[in-house]
Amino acid sequence: MARTIAVSGSASGIGESLAGLLRDQGDTVIGVDLKDAEVCADLAGPEGRARAVAEVLDRCGGTLDGVVACAGVSTVLQPPPTAVQSTSSARPTFTDLTVKVNFFGAVALLDGLRPALARAGRPRAAVVGSISATQPVDDAVLRACLDGDEPAALEAAARVVEAGAGNKLYPSSKSALAQWLRRACVTPDWAGAGIPLNAIAPGVVRTPMSAPLFEDERMFKAMNDAVPMPLNGYADAEVIAEALRWLISPANSHMTGQIIYIDGGAEPTLRGPGAF
């Protein structure tokens, strides 16, 4: 039966690939992105997040079969995007965006659309994390995210950058997202409402986000050292999209709170057998 699924980050990379797979199987996709989407909204700020939720609810009529929070930015992988506009008078730094989009944007979308999921027969939700969440993180950023305190998270992020450890912010945002998910998934709001909530944590995926890494010799080496992928190397976006498709399919009735590494073996290489 055709379903209605909201996908953030639907204009590029993994989100675009997932939207295509879902449309091909007859689903209605409500894409959310900065541009080239059914709902154009900036998930970096409260106004854009509220508009995204309101417009998705309007389009789906208040009942939604699935939500995938895929939109994200990477401090490590890209220079600041020019398309993103701040909702405040000050333009956000890219540091801000990592925490704003990857954590607070994703959580706001999921929380905002959860009541619409709860009205569906077999609702499902998923997020896109990252293998980088297994790397060193900043505890203050992590704690503030999990407390839902965005101003404190941004202050902590600024301190991290000042200390020259800005490369901890992307892992921190993705680790916070994974921990939020594992806390929320078993609550009455999610498990109690029959909504599985899981994550895919990719290794390196060939998308516009990762493209700059392949063009810079120094970054390329750093990437390969940080994310060793002995099984079949870098993945294409479709590989991640296929896994997300299953996670939000009716077939997934009993798995929740799982961070599934689709990373060519990076996670077992880095963490070894002792992680379990």
Residues ≥6 apart with Cβ < 8 Å to 164: none
Among 13, 66, 171, 264, binds ligand NAI (CB under 6 A): 13
Among 71, 76, 113, 178, binds ligand NAI (CB under 6 A): 71
Nearer to ligand NAI, 81 or 192 (CB): 81
Where do we find the tokens 């956000």?
Answer: 92
Where do we find the tokens 């996908």?
Answer: 7
Q: Is 202 in the site for ligand NAI (CB under 6 A)?
A: yes
8 Å CB contact between 195 and 124 = yes
Q: Is 14 in the site for ligand NAI (CB under 6 A)?
A: yes
Among 39, 60, 74, 245, binds ligand NAI (CB under 6 A): 74
Q: How far is residue 272's CA from residue 276's CA, in Å, rounded to a whole number? A: 9
Summarize the chain as % helix, strand, coil (round to 5). 50, 15, 40
Nearer to ligand NAI, 22 or 204 (CB): 204
Where do we find the tokens 């890219």?
Answer: 94
> Of 19-27, 38-46, 115-123, 143-151, which part binds ligand NAI (CB under 6 A)?
38-46
Q: Is 99 in the site for ligand NAI (CB under 6 A)?
A: no
Alpha helices in the chain (DSSP H): 13-24, 46-60, 94-99, 106-118, 139-146, 150-162, 169-184, 211-215, 217-226, 237-247, 266-271
Q: Is 204 in the site for ligand NAI (CB under 6 A)?
A: yes
Q: Is 262 in the site for ligand NAI (CB under 6 A)?
A: no
Q: Is 34 in the site for ligand NAI (CB under 6 A)?
A: yes
Nearer to ligand NAI, 97 or 116 (CB): 97
Q: Is 96 in the site for ligand NAI (CB under 6 A)?
A: no
Q: Is 42 in the site for ligand NAI (CB under 6 A)?
A: yes
Q: How far is residue 179's CA from residue 110's CA, in Å, rounded to a whole number? A: 14
User: Active-site positions?
Assistant: 170
